Structures are given as C-alpha cells and as structure tokens.
Chains A and B, each alone.
Chain A
Amino acid sequence: DAKTTQPPSMDCAEGRAANLPCNHSTISGNEYVYWYRQIHSQGPQYIIHGLKNNETNEMASLIITEDRKSSTLILPHATLRDTAVYYCIVSPGTYKYIFGTGTRLKVLA
C-alpha cells in the first residue's frame, strides 16, 4: 500500500500558487519523497524529489518538514496546463514506486 496520504482534490486559480500537501508519517530515514503528475492518461511525469532539504527546480518547489512526516509541493504560478493528478510517493529503495490515489488539481481560469 502507498505510504502517503493526499487530499483527493483541490482547486487553484490560474496564476496563483498551488500548494499540494502530502502526509508520510511512517517515512524511513533513507526514503526520498518524489512527486509526479499525470495529465489525463499520459505517463506519470517526474516533477521533483527530496530527502530532507527543500528543493526547487524549473517546475516546482518541494518543502519537507523538519520531522519529514509531511511535505508540500508548490507550483508557483499555476496554469491551465497544470491541471492533472499529482502523486506524492516515498521510495523505500531500489526497485519500485507505489502510487496512491493522488490529488486531482484543477486550475481554474
């Protein structure tokens, strides 16, 4: 089973920041937090990942709490094309990711 809990859906106004929360209270010390998104039925698209520190790339920022039990993905200026299902995944190691049900983000014009 997925080790993460995410709200099933969220709305965000276009141009505003989208903040997507994720709880992973049982995360182990060597597990990373990964974020992916899936637009319609396309393949999951990698967004960002981190271990302890906050991370930023051209797509998003990842904020991980100090106790690592939760994190937030931030899309700084959401556009209509960011409408997708967003998955937060903790990876126990080499072999696989386990997807949960994700958060369905709808960006509103």
Chain B
Amino acid sequence: EPEVTQTPSHQVTQMGQEVILRCVPISNHLYFYWYRQILGQKVEFLVSFYNNEISEKSEIFDDQFSVERPDGSNFTLKIRSTKLEDSAMYFCASRTTGGAGNTIYFGEGSWLTVV
C-alpha cells in the first residue's frame, strides 16, 4: 500500500538553527499538508499546498515557516530559526484530488526537539 514517508524520524537542533523536514507524498497525489502535534496536545493544521503554491495556512504558520516542492517527489517544511516552542511532532500528509470525498493520508511524523 502506498504511503507518505518522512525524514528524519527524529531531529535535535539548537535554538535559532534552521531545520528542514522532508516528506515524500504518495506518488499520484496533488495536495500536500503539514500538521504538527505538540506533546500531549491536538494535531494542528499548519499549511496546505497545491499546484506549487500555498492554498491555506494557519496562524501558526508565520514567517519562520516555509514550504517547498523542490522536485517532483519531495515536499519540505523549513523552520528558519527554531524556537523552543517549535518542539513537536510534524506530520506530512497528502491526498489525490480536491474533492470533499477524498481522503488525506498521513506520514509517521518527524519528531523535532529544540534545545
């Protein structure tokens, strides 16, 4: 069964450093997402991406965050200058088309620890 893959599974970074989280969505999918989950809290929407541009973003997704699809397979989330409060699990997700009846599939996550 096709799946969304994410790397790294766990990253520890110093506060103020840049971090790039990588995702390979399911191959025929066109819509891409990033979510995050702070330990013990809800899964929170960050951003959606379609046709090489951001479709929607949440208040969390400020200027420190950016997303990119650098080639035909990868989808990345960059945090420019990490803060302690960026420590969380980050989930990438994808879906095939935009119809309301289609399903979003999630990766297993990248656990980011900022120290």
Q: Which residues of A are at the interface with B, using a C-beta cutoff of 8 A? A: 30-32, 34, 36, 38, 41-46, 49, 51, 87, 91-101
Contact = CB atoms under 8 A, between A and B. Distances in A.
A95 B103 CA distance: 11
Contacts, number: 63
Given A32-B100, A43-B109, A95 B55 contact: yes
Chain A interface, DSSP helix/strand/loop, else mixed: loop
Interface of B: 4, 31, 33, 35, 37, 39, 42-45, 48, 50, 55-56, 89, 91, 93, 98-101, 103-109, 111
12 contacts: A34-B103, A36-B106, A43-B106, A46-B103, A87-B43, A93-B100, A94-B100, A95-B50, A96-B33, A96-B56, A99-B44, A100-B42
B11 to A, nearest CB: 15
B32 to A, nearest CB: 11
A31 B100 contact: yes
Given A41-B37, A95-B55, A95-B56, A49 B103 contact: yes
Given A30-B100, A32-B100, A41-B37, A95 B107 contact: no
Nearest to B97: A94
Contacts of A92: 100
A41 B43 CA distance: 10
B42 A44 contact: no
A41 B56 contact: no
A101 B100 contact: no
Given A98-B45, A99-B44, A100-B42, A42 B100 contact: no
Nearest to B37: A41
Contacts of A91: 100
Nearest to A50: B101
B112 to A, nearest CB: 12
B42 A43 contact: no
Q: Point out which of B37, B100, B111 has the most chain A C-beta atoms below 10 A from its C-beta.
A: B100
